[in-house]
Amino acid sequence: WFLGPKPFLLAHNVRLSISGSLQSLSKYVPLEFARKPRDTKLLLRWKATEFRAFLLYFSPVVLKPSLPAKLYQHFLSLHIAMTVLLTPSLCVSETMKDYSKNLLVNFVQLTSQLYSPRFLTHNFHNLIHLVDDANHLNEIIGQTNFSLNDISSFPFESFLQQLKKLTRSYAKPLEQVSRRITELYISGNIKSLYLVPQPQSIWTLKDPHFEGFLPPSCTGPQFKCVVFENFTIKTTGNADNCCSMKGGEIVIVDNIAYSNELKTEVIIGRKYVNVVDFYSEPFCTSSNLNTFKVSDLSDPKIWKISDITFKFIHLPCENYFVVIPLLHTCC
């Protein structure tokens, strides 16, 4: 689309439109993301996390108005298949895994027809066996809520930065790292560097303030931020304030306070009234993946913080928003 030969190279104005749409989403990117979306002119410099974010979150929104229907649906099949395999509640379902495998096989076959057989590299062929690999590795790991996230290499890549900080010169880096780790272990400081701290509670409230709206049943202290084990909800900005509740509501969080009526900490927010599928035919409905097209907010209401189930990325598209769950926050 961007670097390939004609006739597969998209028109210049289409490439500019996709790139502009992608960069316009920057202010909606949650803090859990390592990078903001960048210009497609820098595509050769994109990191693996950027391609992952594009496939799982940005592509359904930015490609929809720009690609021909056949090409969009073809790419959407890859997006859906990978979403299934990266969501524990879906990856444990044999039906959904079979569906994902069929999508991946179809994706590879159609690539040859829509583009060219020379696009079918070894990496494309590997997609056909991805579900089989997931099943095999799950047998080894033996987890009940297994997904491909459990065998991701991103944590190891991220840890390389810590290892690089332990070296002082280019000579004998392995020996340097080994000595530094031994020194840290002996001094007792290795825990703070190499062990992930365990949460002391289910959530932590941060950033107290005195400016927010409070319903009659609520009192201070008020907070702008609630931190869970694997995601954070913030009332400021547009990037971190959308979440799902136990009742299925999709809520924009405006404030965090204490409810005298419920005797617990609550979020004060507005739920989306119009919630429909973002896509359906020829695939499964997007609601099966907790992805929705939403619009029109209700009046402010309160919900228990304990009723928050997961976090959404909340992206504008035409005259509505598309909400897609952050996959690492879904059970």
Structure confidence by residue, pLDDT tens digits, 209-232? 998 899 999 998 999 999 998 899
- Centre a 10 Å sphere on the Cβ of residue 8 and count the other Cβ atoms it contains: 14
Give first-to-last CA distance, the chain, whole Å. Answer: 35
For 145, residues 6+ apart whose C-beta sits below 8 A from its C-beta are 88, 89, 92, 331
Taking alpha carbons only, the member of 255, 211, 248 closest to residue 233 is: 255
pLDDT in tens, 227-253: 998 899 999 989 999 999 999 999 999
Q: Is 223 in contact with 205 (CB distance < 8 Å)?
A: yes
Taking alpha carbons only, the member of 280, 281, 284, 228 closest to residue 256 is: 228
What's residue 201's pLDDT? 55
| CA distances to 81, 92, 100, 164 from 134, in Å | 13, 10, 12, 31
The two tokens of residue 78 are: 């890859």
CA–CA separation, 109 and 207 (whole Å):
52
What's residue 193's pLDDT? 43
Percent of the chain with pLDDT over 90: 52
Identify the segments of the chain with pLDDT beneath 50. 192-200
The two tokens of residue 330 are: 């879904």
Whole-structure pTM value? 0.83
What's residue 55's pLDDT? 94
